[in-house]
Amino acid sequence: MKTTVSMYERAYRLGQKHAGTGDMRYWYTRSIDKAYLMGYEGHEIDFTDIVSGYRYGDIPEGGVSFNYLDDMFEKGLSLAAVDGEKEVGSSMWFCDREKVKVSGIRLPFKGSDGETLILPLGIEQYDFEE
């Protein structure tokens, strides 16, 4: 089964519900886990802000980019550019990779290189049986 807006929103709302209780849940799919944590930490997500764009290279399993400089995961999947917007400058380091189209929920954060981060739609997930 593939990720949907409703899956991300359900995980996010559960994170909001658990905030301040000491309860915490972990998810098998990294991008769903990130949605949960954003709710838990009190960040706002606009689930209607769906964007399309591209990145260089395959979407990592779990749908979250890794920041090798800081040796940690980003808060979502990084895009080289959102359709209709300018490409981030750091893309020159990755442009030898295949350009991959992707869509998802825009996050209120930027990646380590200033790139747009999303919760990707339509990737394999292991948490919900809709």
Residue range(s) defining the domain that contains residue 22? 5-40
Supply the pTM of this predicted model: 0.92
pLDDT of residue 92: 56
Place of tokens 């209607």: 48
Determine the Cα–Cα distance for residues 5 and 126; give it in Å rounded to an integer.
15
The answer to whether residue 45 sits within a structural domain is no
Degrees (nearest 5) of the Cα angle 52, 58, 60?
Answer: 95
Which residues in the chain come in under a pLDDT of 70?
A: 89-95, 130
Residue 130 falls inside a structural domain: no
pLDDT at position 95, please?
Answer: 63
Question: Are 36 and 55 found together in one domain?
Answer: no
Specify whether 66 is located in the same domain as 85.
yes
Total domains in the fold of the chain: 2
Separation between Cα atoms, residue 64 and residue 58, nearest integer Å: 11
